[in-house]
Chain A
Amino acid sequence: MKNKVVVGMSGGVDSSVAAYLLKEQGYEVIGVTMQIWQDEKELQKDENGACCGLLAVEDARRVAQYLQIPYYVMNFKKEFKEKVMDYFVDEYLHGRTPNPCIACNRYVKWESLLQRSIGIGADYIATGHYARIRQLANGRYAVCKSATDQKDQTYALYNLTQYQLAHTLMPVGEYEKEEIRTLAKKAGLPVAQKPDSQEICFIPDNDYAGFIDREAGERVPGPGNFVTSSGEVIGQHKGITHYTVGQRKGLQLAMGHPVFVTRIHPDTNEVVIGEGEDVFSCELFCDRINYMGMEELQGTKRVLAKIRYGHKGAYGVIEKVGEDRIRCRFEESVRAVTPGQAVVFYENECVLGGGTIL
């Protein structure tokens, strides 16, 4: 019996090549596009053109037909709303800056898709991520850096469980980005040369605050004070959901020199403003820990820590300081440690674990 694998297909190059590679490797491949947020009302609002969600379905379906694999659209709107959109809004209301892609990966792409895929008889799910899954010497599964340097996607995958990793394939991780494009061309895959999108998929206009206003309505705290670290009021802000730690632009404060957001206090509805050096920290704390390559943290450990997507990483020493709390002391201070973002710990290019910055 051939192993069955469900490939999550977005209609883009990477996941299309993932499906192609697995089919070549002899798997019985089923293509699935996850419908996650486009709802009918939004469809109707978009009167000027087809919406992105449906275009993705069309592209993915075309690839599946070309590869002669069965293809389905699965509805994950409910999971996505609860686990990603509501979480996103809630974190902002609490003065934090969330990373919705991490939540989506853990709870929607993996938890829900994997469960439903196993439900329809699959052994694995697969994606087009640039990452590799390795079983380490200690027997644990970890996400490790892919062959390509330019497109490391391990950061957003740190929160996957051992069970999820054991049932996941990431065939694209073995290749360079350019090789994937070449493979797509060689295989004749009918995929658009779409640029990779950077914005958050459910906020295509990039107006986070506007999105939160629409979603949260009355729960959105109104304007409040900009204060200095000593508590001196220096101006009015538009509402804490408009700001993130490290932000300089759009503060509309005439201080005569660049100032930055250094903290957000949801309880007092204050945004703390500081000078350049105030945005640097030499340590951070995190909770909501997920252990990946290491089973448990004992004593101290020197790791490379990434504090946001695209951060090249900084060396530091981690130590458990509570049941679900880790402190990371950096060797050199890092800029804009942002509550709500993930910190991910690496050793030898593999993810040991990570948590949410406090």
Chain B
Amino acid sequence: MNDFIYLDNAATTKTAPEVVEAMLPYFTINYGNPSSIYSLGSTAQKAVMESREYIASTIGAKSNEIYFTGGGSESDNWALIATAEAYASRGRHIITSKIEHHAILHTCEYLEKKGYEITYIDVDENGIIKLDDLKAAIRQDTILISIMFANNEIGTIQPIKEIGQMAKAHDILFHTDAVQAYAHLPIHVDEMNIDMLSASGHKFQGPKGIGFLYIRTGIKIRSFLHGGQQERGRRAGTENVPGIVGIGKAARLAFSHMEEREKKEKELRDYLIKKIEGEIPYCKLNGDKEKRLSNNVNYSFQFIEGESLLIMLDRKGICGSSGSACTSGSLDPSHVLLAIGLPHEMAHGSLRLTVNWENTLEEMDRAVEAIKGIVERLRNMSPLYEDYINKNK
């Protein structure tokens, strides 16, 4: 089926053709190992260096503070585990939130088993961190605060600058999972007091399997993969040169048209929201209306199963999601939706649509028309809906 509508850009994006083009020579011509001494190697080494320098410049960092990794999850794992190990003598307490990605939450569970104590901060009904709770959670032995920049399911953007200030004032390291935010929102690590930041290439039209972790100079952090001297000895393994070239190119593209792109996406997003609100009753927009990623729409539809909605949308060629794409293919109610206080049945009936600036208004119309029909059909089969209608006649 060619005629599909892709509305799951928070899960992954199409690799930009320019990115693919930039990568190809590093498979076929400049395939040397960056660690080799001959010129084929140094061509690759130069490409890696340029990519690193450019990416550093996009967040106000130095190039030797950027470490390429296998993606967002690896960056998150590295930041948390290595910090916990390196600073264990100072304390064993870490603060995070209840709506983090599983790459953070499951790593925290792992650390709990290793004897660390984790505080999971609540969020308000829009998914924003409660700064007072964060402040109250800080202890003498707190070594790290890890709060995501923007949420992958409901798009909520956190008060990162305030969190950074608070962390700095208490001399605590601050890591942010910026997988959904990097190359979508302006980020400056000094202005925001960010000590570590995770990002992933395929969320902004770069390739999959490549990401980076920013680590501020001076932070003690253990090596993640042991072996050769790549990434200044902190992440061994021959560099993924085509991937690094790809993420660099994708970043260049993304930053060159960030404003224009965000504007278009916002327009599509707001059109979609308005249309859903106008045409489908008994639904609720999840997440904050203002502090929200420009590509994110997340709705709960009362009386239906999100699973059935997604399957039927797929049958009609519309790619959506019910939240995180990282589950095993089957859906449990999202921890994010439960954390913002949605009852189980509403959390089950949720749909996430994440647009890209290349989507069209016409696609939005088709999507809403399909959703409307499916929701109606599923509601007509739902005993809960029948009860509700009878009660409110």
Chain A interface residues toward B at CB < 8 A: 35, 39-40, 44, 54, 57, 70, 72-75, 77, 115-116, 118-121
Complex contacts, A116 vs chain B, CB 8 Å:
305, 307-308
In the complex, which range does the number of interface residues on chain B fall in?
10 to 19
| Contact among A35, A40, A119 with B308 in the assembled complex (CB-CB below 8 Å) | A119
Question: Which residues of the other chain, A, contact B305 by a CB distance below 8 angstroms?
Answer: 116, 119
Q: Which residues of A contact B381 (CB under 8 A)?
A: 115, 118-119
Taking CB atoms, residues of chain B closer than 8 Å to A121 are: 312, 315
Mark out the residues of chain B between 363 and 389 whose CB falls within 8 Å of any chain A CB in the assembled complex.
Answer: 377-378, 381
Provide a sorted-by-A list of 17 A–B residue pairs whose CB atoms are within 8 angstroms. A35-B329, A39-B332, A40-B332, A57-B328, A73-B330, A74-B307, A75-B332, A115-B381, A116-B307, A118-B381, A119-B308, A119-B312, A119-B377, A119-B378, A120-B308, A120-B311, A121-B315
In the bound complex, what is the Cα–Cα distance between A121 and B332 (angstroms)? 23
B88 contacts the other chain (CB 8 A): no
Q: Tell me, yes or no, whether B331 is within 8 Å of chain A by CB.
A: yes
- Say yes or no: A54 contacts B315, CB within 8 Å: no
Interface SS of chain B: helix
- A54 to chain B: closest CB distance in Å? 6
User: When the two chains form their complex, are residues A77 and B315 in contact, meaning their CB atoms are under 8 A apart?
Assistant: no
Contact B329 A73 (CB under 8 A): yes
> Could you tell me if A120 and B330 are in contact, using CB atoms closer than 8 angstroms?
no
Closest to B377 in A: A119
Residues of B within 8 A of A119 (CB): 305, 308, 312, 377-378, 381
Are B109 and A57 touching (Cβ within 8 A)? no
- Give complex CA distance A119, B377 in Å: 8
Asked whether any CB of chain A lies closer than 8 Å to the CB of B277, the reply is no
Chain A CB within 8 A of B124 CB: no
Report the nearest B residue to A35, measured CB to CB.
Answer: B330
Binding site for A on B (CB under 8 A): 106, 109, 305, 307-308, 311-312, 314-315, 328-332, 377-378, 381
Q: Which residue of B lies closest to A51 (CB)?
A: B328
Bound form: Cα–Cα A77–B344 in Å: 14
Interface centre among A44, A119, A121, by most chain B C-beta atoms within 10 angstroms, is A119
A234 to B378, CA, bound (A): 60
Q: By the criterion CB–CB under 8 Å, are A44 and B109 in contact?
A: yes
> What's the nearest-Cβ distance from chain B to residue A228, in Å?
50
Q: For A54, what are the chain B residues with a Cβ–Cβ distance below 8 Å?
A: 328
**Nearest CB to that of A32 among chain B residues?**
B311
Cα(A75)–Cα(B322), bound, Å: 13
| Among B109, B308, B315, B378, residue most surrounded by chain A Cβ atoms (within 10 Å) | B308
B312-A120 in contact (CB<8A): yes
Contacts of A40 in B (CB 8 A): 332
Asked if B312 and A73 make an inter-chain contact with CB atoms under 8 angstroms apart, the answer reads: no
The answer to whether A120 touches B329, judged by C-beta atoms less than 8 angstroms apart, is no
Report Cα–Cα, A40/B328, bound state, in Å: 10
A192 to B332, CA, bound (A): 28
A121 to B377, CA, bound (A): 9
Cα(A39)–Cα(B381), bound, Å = 28
User: What B residues does A75 contact at CB under 8 A?
Assistant: 307, 330-332
